[in-house]
Structure 1
Amino acid sequence: MADKQSLVQRWNPRLRNPMLKVESVVAFPADPSIAYSARNQSCMFALHAKEGEVTSFTTPGFPNSPYPNNALCYWALRADAGSVISLTFKTLELEQCMDDGDYIKVYNSLSPVEPHTLVRLCGNYAPSYNLTFISSQNVMLVTLVTNKEGRFPGFKAEFFQLPKMKVCGGTLRGESGTFTTPYYPAHYPPAMDCVWNIEVPPKKNVKVRFNMFFVLEPGTPVSSCTKDYVQINGTKYCGERSQFVVASTTNRIEVQFHSDHSHTDSGFSAEYLSYDSSDPCPGKFTCNTGRCIDRSMRCDGWLDCVDGSDERSCTCTDQQFKCQNGWCKPKFWVCDNVNDCGDNSDELQCSCAADSFKCSSGKCIPEAQKCDGKDDCGDGSDEGSCSNVPAAIPCKDYTYKCRNGRCIGKQNPECDGERDCEDNSDEDNCNCGTRSYTRKSRIVGGQDSEVGEWPWQVSLHVKGQGHICGASLVSESWLVSAAHCFLQLQGIRYSDANLWTAYLGLTDQGNRNDPNVQTRKIKRIISHPYFNDYTYDYDIAVLELQSPVTFSSVVQPICLPDATHSFPVGKDLWVTGWGATAEGGSEASVLQKAEIRLINQTVCNQLLTDQLTPRMMCVGVLTGGVDACQGDSGGPLVSVEPSSRMFLAGVVSWGEGCAQRNKPGVYSRLTSLRDWIKEQTGL
């Protein structure tokens, strides 16, 4: 800390009047990552907001050249007195996050002091991710710190000034209404205190439902909420929470919101509702949290209430298994190697003796026979997950064959980041199944996809008709889709490649002219010769593009699984498409996504009256409500593997209606059709 007298003398060396009088000095620790970094290059910019205008700035060289290495850059942002600054990063792509990697820090001051840090950013974000930050005063500092290596585009940002909010909170009256944190959906400012006094009509009770809730500060335990929080009825709430409800036993409730001087988040969007205390959810089931759900969701095996109260005190049906903890689960979930009950009781009766190994088929073999190089299970599962995989084992239908002709027992070895074949052929052609951004969506309950989240998703259009089917990009020149998309219909020969246009890198059908979207004509369509338009067996087609695509952050291929790749029953998979969001409804504009579950083939054949063939797989949620639908046909069914790489498990094929109970969707099984795809495309 500087000596007070020398500080005065430096300002006024001759000590003439008027003399600067320093009453006190407050010292903040400088951000150590900046204070102690030796950088070769530095760049400093001072920008002032103009009334009614948006000002843009970028990293040096953006977008034509990467930002400099070993650099420290500052952008000091100022606005007029009585205003605050709204800063938005429109594009942000830095080195992936690591301790000594490149990063951006934004401060709620003009000095890089840790207590005024609004956010630390690194890596890359989907363009639709909320990266808008609000200052509490009329200044803000953006810093960029880079290390000695890496070539990344950097960022483009823009800022403007807003009048400083005079009042936060207030009195809300009426049957119902909505309220949000200041400037929502932008990040709320630091140093805020808001109080909402909510009052509904007499003889009614009031509840507050938080539809979005992101009040998370790094390093703060969500159990104590010591920094940013919402307080209701004496209880503090913070962190990332899915939809939840807080109720009052009277017609009034007070909601307090507090943010401290440092890191901020997106905040919350809430609504208040009045209800009759004797029937808080008319016609519906009331969770113990106060949330209302459809009565059909009660005792269906799924935790629709966050606290599981919809699955307690249930009487199990003939179609359900009773867990030891009293929950009821569908019988076909028993012995699927997934702990559905929560206490593992659905898997206990399937286990083998202590000194035995349980095969995928359920057969038990002595533990000593596991990983001995022999297929004792008969399905290879005793040799499929060994850490010391033998150099080679006898080749079977389910063993992975290396390029040199030798077979290994490890299950799903391709592109898992480990060398399993002596010739490393299991790790060849692995430039697939990854997406360029690492941030998860913060859409709760919704199913809109982020830009670039599914970069292999293709929209197939017919001139004058718009989007007809989906497809998956599997290389620079090849797509995989469903054969039924190209049947002749109402006199139109859809097998004619000239009718079709492929849109790649597309998320919103209304943004087809976006510069990141690539458009390609189709050179040829090859449908499987055994495709049966009555049973939909062999429902697969490959399409060659007239010219190769250019891979980018929003256009990437999905990995094709080996014919021996195993997708186990019970595994969660993702289906995406622009299809109808309800049976008989209109198609979606924004790409939709849904997480669904691989269902046992025998059970599915019972539900769909023996309509399945070995080329089909059954995936869905048997309680209904989640499924692919018309317009999704030909689109991808994706498996996220333990390595985080994504594989094409299936192609949207057919179903009885959409999202009906006990009517799961049917998908073409990629592994059964893999050899044919290779014959046609060479992939």
Structure 2
Amino acid sequence: MDYMDSGLRYTPTQDKDWDADVQFLPASDNKKLEKKKGPGKVGAVIGVLVLCVVIALMAGLLVWHFHYRKDVRVKKMYSGSMRITNQVFDNAYENTNSSEFKALAKQVKTQLKMLYSKSPQLSKYYVGSTVQAFSEGSVIAYYISEFSVPSGQESAVDHAMSTMDKLVEKEQRSIYRPGNSLLLEDVISSELDSRLFSTKFRKFFRFSEHTRTNHIGQIRSPGFPDSPYPPNTFMQWQVRADPGYVIKLDFDTMNLEENCRNDFVKIYDSLVAIETSVVQEMCGYYAPSEPLAFLSSGNVMLVTMATNQEKNYPGFRAQVSQVRRGSTNTRCGGRLTGNVGSFTSPNFPNYYPPGTSCEWTIEVPAGKSVKVTFKKFLMDEPGQGGSKGCRKDYVQINGKKFCGDHEDNSVTETSSTNQMTVQFYSDGSYVDRGFNATFEAVDSADPCPKQFQCKNQRCIKSELKCDGWNDCGDMTDEFNCKCSSNHIHCKNGLCKPMFWKCDSVDDCGDGTDEEGCGACAKGQFSCKNGNCASEKKRCDGRDDCGDGSDELDCGRGTGSSSGSVACTDLTFKCNNNKCISKVNPECDGDQDCEDGSDEINCDCGRSKFKSTRIVGGQDAEAGEFPWQVSLQTKRFGHLCGASLISPGWLVTAAHCVQDDGRNKFHQPDTWFAYMGLHTQRNIGNTVEKRNIKRIIPHPNYNDYTFDNDIALMELESPVAYSDFIQPICLPAAQHDFPVGSTVTITGWGAQREGGTAATVLQKAQVRTINYTVCDKLLGGQLTTRMMCAGILAGGVDACQGDSGGPLTIPSGIRNFLGGVVSWGDGCARRNKPGVYTTVTKFRGWIKQNTGV
């Protein structure tokens, strides 16, 4: 019987200890209750009343007894596996309907019942078990056990089940055990994910797949790709490989509801859903370019899928094959020699298998030291407890453990001799992509020639020490510094550039740089216009700041409240001309305007794909920024970027459409727009090309100062939205993007100043910078329609070819077009941030010309 198919539909037995007797006290004076002669009306009435009282009392006692004293039971399900050492695997065990399977399953259930009877916490609550499958080694049994546990006793049962291995070990040593009983070891038990036995499931599907050499099989959700997967359904696929092989599971499509509490796929390194053997849990929509390939530790794997009632999606499809154990992708560890070399975790850049342990011994020429640098390091999983804990998967080197996610090239270690040992370990649950590392021979006396060596072994330029920037990544280049006159001397001992003083961002980390800046006194509120107002006057219905900022986000003027607030330059105006106090209400998922206009035209600003995680990477994933547009000409190819704001309109920079000698960039027929493009010159079926119908540069654009550097382009024909083509949200004129926010710039521009354009779409995270500070850094060249963003340490910036592209700012659940790439003093220079056209300043102009 399959617990997922027909369910463990046992009926819990009635508790024999229930007290079923109901007793009543005798009357104190029987004579008073004797019926008088004659059926007097008063006596009859009294008799009826007494009878009613007695009946009511009995009913009340019965209700109290059977309802309020009811023994509330909780259904607890546990999955597990055990190795049977005195049995040999028979191929017939793969068929649950075979007599061989049924005979051994019956024996396993009998022994489970006997084991549970030895535990006081388990014996009285045990309902029954089902055996799900058997596999090689000698024979491994996979089972599900059900218990009906009184409320409040769950933890005791959980603890008892967690010590099943000790219970089995004790039973195996007993001299009273029957001679024909099964010999057991490697017992694993864990509580079953409650989502897998939901009472709401109406359908159950069970599939089996046995891979074979030189054959690629396929598993997929029911209906894929022609129809959505069924609702309220549980599905499972038991996958096996031949002995000596492991299973490779490679998803080419994964498109489920975004919330894993509703629909999800869960993979197990087992043939039953044992939580300590979970390989990965997935939901949402993964980009086809993101590899989702997994390896098992043995020759079995289980794929489960559960769905709820609503929002059913296409589902998934995966290829299954078997790989010989010890082949290239499954092998790791060994001896590495030479001056340089590289090594990776098994199956990199795909997911490494669970239950893996490897060791590399690296040796370089005598007199040298070994320096190992991890180019990529992605080893994060639930329950890891942060990178310092490393209680689960880790890399150990020089006696140090590393785990979690780290920026590219940020993990590096150097040995004190010409040898080094690197160990890699993964436990039995949840895997990640692993690492890619290089090693090199360095001078042991001077591993960083003419450079500064950080505590984490990184080498940086000597001039970067004590410059106020964390170039090492561990701050060691900023310790023990003597601050110069052009630096802020933070109380915590750090030195920070003087131009950061009073920029409204705590750069020191202890607030030193923001002291003495005319900030509001304690108990006062800092207004948007720089004034101060009493905290007690905030949200009192009066404009105490002078710009109305003390009346923002006061919970008034919403669609669910009565009335609205006075309209100011800072309040959001609904289509019915009423204003609300909420900051940034548009497209946040909540209807704040009475007419719902704050949630109109909100199908924007979100990638269809699940958020990717590429630590320190610069290549964007295909479809990660579906509003990014490449503007190209016949003569030059890609020249500028743009942002899609509707099916027919783009936003770009005005300087991109200014004539240059013989090039008539103001003419629409000069340009082509490519939507959905990821790699230049790779025009696949996800890409849409359009001619330009009309170009509208801002009438007040100044080609000397770059003021009002914004332009609109109308496509010759509207583009259809797809997974790779989506619009970005336009912010309201009052939208507030706080200084210091992390934002993203994207484009195919030059990857360094004077360099060549990128082939693959690039992305970089930068920080918005205080306007006053930026204006000082750039010599007073900013206008009020410009904003700055960058990394003042240098190294990250937009560059030639990125012009006109988006500065993407996350706000709530969506992304907004905060800025348009405009100009800068070179590219990625230190203390020279990029300058962007502020889109909020042109919201009305965009609406007037496009209707968007």
Matches within 5 A, 1:498-517: 498-513=669-684, 515-517=685-687
1:616 aligned residue? 786
Give the 3 Å change call, closer, same or farther, for CA 520–47 of structure 1 in structure 2: farther
**Distance apart, 1:310 and its partner CA:** 1.6
Residue in structure 2 matching 1:355, options 499, 523, 533: 523
Residue in structure 1 matching 2:483, options 316, 322, 326: 316
Residue in structure 2 matching 1:168, options 332, 346, 358: 332
**Structure 1: how far apart are the matches of 2:615 and 2:347?**
19
Q: Could you report, residue by residue, the CA deviation over 1:277-301 in whole angstroms, capped at 9, with x for unpaired residues?
A: 3322123221111112233433333
Give the 3 Å change call, closer, same or farther, for CA 415–647 of structure 1 in structure 2: same
1:287 aligned residue? 454
Give the 3 Å change call, closer, same or farther, for CA 380–448 of structure 1 in structure 2: farther
Deviates more, 1:418-427 or 1:465-474: 418-427
**Structure 1: how far apart are the matches of 2:637 and 2:238?**
47
1:671 and 2:840 correspond: yes
**Structure 2: how far apart are the matches of 1:191 and 1:20?**
33
Residue in structure 2 matching 1:662, options 814, 820, 831: 831
Secondary structure (helix, strand or coil) at the match of 1:474 reads strand
2:236 aligned residue? 74
Residue in structure 1 matching 2:594, options 409, 414, 422: 422
**Structure 2: how far apart are the matches of 1:444 and 1:293?**
20
**Structure 1: how far apart are the matches of 2:747 and 2:355?**
42
**Structure 2: how far apart are the matches of 1:158 and 1:480?**
42
1:61 aligned residue? 223
**Structure 1: how far apart are the matches of 2:380 and 2:777?**
44
Residue in structure 1 matching 2:253, options 91, 106, 110: 91
**Structure 1: how far apart are the matches of 2:836 and 2:416?**
50
**Structure 1: how far apart are the matches of 2:249 and 2:296?**
8
**Structure 1: how far apart are the matches of 2:842 and 2:315?**
42
Q: Could you report, residue by residue, the CA deviation over 1:361-390 in whole angstroms, capped at 9, with x for unpaired residues?
A: 443222233223333323433223434469
In structure 1, runs of 5+ residues without a counterpart are: 14-18
Letter in 2 for 1:285: F
Give the 3 Å change call, closer, same or farther, for CA 318–635 of structure 1 in structure 2: farther
Q: Could you report, residue by residue, the CA deviation over 1:492-541 in whole angstroms, capped at 9, with x for unpaired residues?
A: 2222222322222222224321x222222222111112222232222111
Residue in structure 1 matching 2:290, options 114, 129, 139: 129
Q: Could you report, residue by residue, the CA deviation over 1:594-632 in whole angstroms, capped at 9, with x for unpaired residues?
A: 122222333333333333222222222222211111111
**Structure 2: how far apart are the matches of 1:323 and 1:375?**
37
2:343 aligned residue? 179
Letter in 1 for 2:345: T
2:395 aligned residue? 230
1:10 and 2:103 correspond: yes
Deviates more, 1:457-466 or 1:470-479: 457-466
1:216 aligned residue? 380
1:118 and 2:287 correspond: no
2:269 aligned residue? 108
2:366 aligned residue? 202
2:431 aligned residue? 264
Letter in 2 for 1:455: P
**Distance apart, 1:654 and its partner CA:** 1.5
Q: Could you report, residue by residue, the CA deviation over 1:448-481 in whole angstroms, capped at 9, with x for unpaired residues?
A: 1122221111111222432221111111211111
**Structure 2: how far apart are the matches of 1:644 and 1:552?**
19
**Structure 2: how far apart are the matches of 1:547 and 1:83?**
54
Q: Is the 8 A contact 2:647 2:721 kept in 1?
A: yes
**Structure 1: how far apart are the matches of 2:670 and 2:334?**
58
Letter in 2 for 1:405: N
Secondary structure (helix, strand or coil) at the match of 2:753 reads coil
Letter in 2 for 1:339: D
**Structure 2: how far apart are the matches of 1:580 and 1:307?**
30
Deviates more, 1:392-401 or 1:518-527: 392-401
2:183 aligned residue? 23
**Distance apart, 1:274 and its partner CA:** 2.6
1:470 and 2:641 correspond: yes
**Structure 1: how far apart are the matches of 2:755 and 2:621?**
22
Give the 3 Å change call, closer, same or farther, for CA 570–116 of structure 1 in structure 2: closer
Q: Could you report, residue by residue, the CA deviation over 1:427-455 in whole angstroms, capped at 9, with x for unpaired residues?
A: 322222222233332x2322111222211
**Structure 2: how far apart are the matches of 1:279 and 1:680?**
63
Secondary structure (helix, strand or coil) at the match of 1:303 reads coil
2:691 aligned residue? 521
**Distance apart, 1:591 and its partner CA:** 1.0
Secondary structure (helix, strand or coil) at the match of 2:804 reads coil
Secondary structure (helix, strand or coil) at the match of 2:396 reads strand
Greater gyration radius: 2
Residue in structure 2 matching 1:497, options 659, 668, 688: 668
**Structure 1: how far apart are the matches of 2:345 and 2:188?**
28
Residue in structure 1 matching 2:310, options 149, 153, 162: 149
1:331 aligned residue? 498
Q: Which has the higher contact order (CA 8 A, sep 6+)?
A: 1
**Distance apart, 1:206 and its partner CA:** 2.1
Residue in structure 2 matching 1:488, options 659, 665, 673: 659
**Structure 2: how far apart are the matches of 1:9 and 1:440?**
46
1:412 aligned residue? 584
In structure 2, runs of 5+ residues without a counterpart are: 1-79, 88-98, 107-178
Secondary structure (helix, strand or coil) at the match of 2:276 reads helix
Letter in 2 for 1:633: S
Q: Is the 8 A contact 1:232 1:254 kept in 2?
A: yes
Give the 3 Å change call, closer, same or farther, for CA 238–596 of structure 1 in structure 2: closer
1:375 and 2:375 correspond: no
1:647 and 2:811 correspond: no
Give the 3 Å change call, closer, same or farther, for CA 594–378 of structure 1 in structure 2: farther
Q: Could you report, residue by residue, the CA deviation over 1:532-591 in whole angstroms, capped at 9, with x for unpaired residues?
A: 223222211111122222223322211111122222333222111110101111111111
**Distance apart, 1:9 and its partner CA:** 9.1
Q: Is the 8 A contact 1:215 1:229 kept in 2?
A: yes
Q: Is the 8 A contact 1:300 1:623 kept in 2?
A: no
Q: Is the 8 A contact 1:11 1:20 kept in 2?
A: no
Deviates more, 1:40-49 or 1:561-570: 40-49
Q: Could you report, residue by residue, the CA deviation over 1:391-446 in whole angstroms, capped at 9, with x for unpaired residues?
A: 444433333322222334443332233444333322322222222233332x2322
Q: Is the 8 A contact 1:104 1:145 kept in 2?
A: yes
**Structure 2: how far apart are the matches of 1:658 and 1:451?**
25
Q: Is the 8 A contact 2:557 2:593 kept in 1?
A: no
**Distance apart, 1:32 and its partner CA:** 4.1
**Structure 2: how far apart are the matches of 1:372 and 1:8?**
75
**Structure 2: how far apart are the matches of 1:606 and 1:70?**
61
Give the 3 Å change call, closer, same or farther, for CA 228–603 of structure 1 in structure 2: closer
| Aligned sequence identity (%) | 50
Q: CA RMSD in A?
A: 2.9
Q: Is the 8 A contact 1:188 1:264 kept in 2?
A: yes
**Structure 1: how far apart are the matches of 2:520 and 2:282?**
49
**Structure 2: how far apart are the matches of 1:12 and 1:574?**
57
**Distance apart, 1:154 and its partner CA:** 0.9
Aligned residues: 674
1:239 and 2:404 correspond: yes
1:16 aligned residue? none
Q: Is the 8 A contact 2:583 2:736 kept in 1?
A: yes
**Structure 1: how far apart are the matches of 2:772 and 2:356?**
58
Letter in 2 for 1:106: I
Give the 3 Å change call, closer, same or farther, for CA 95–370 of structure 1 in structure 2: same
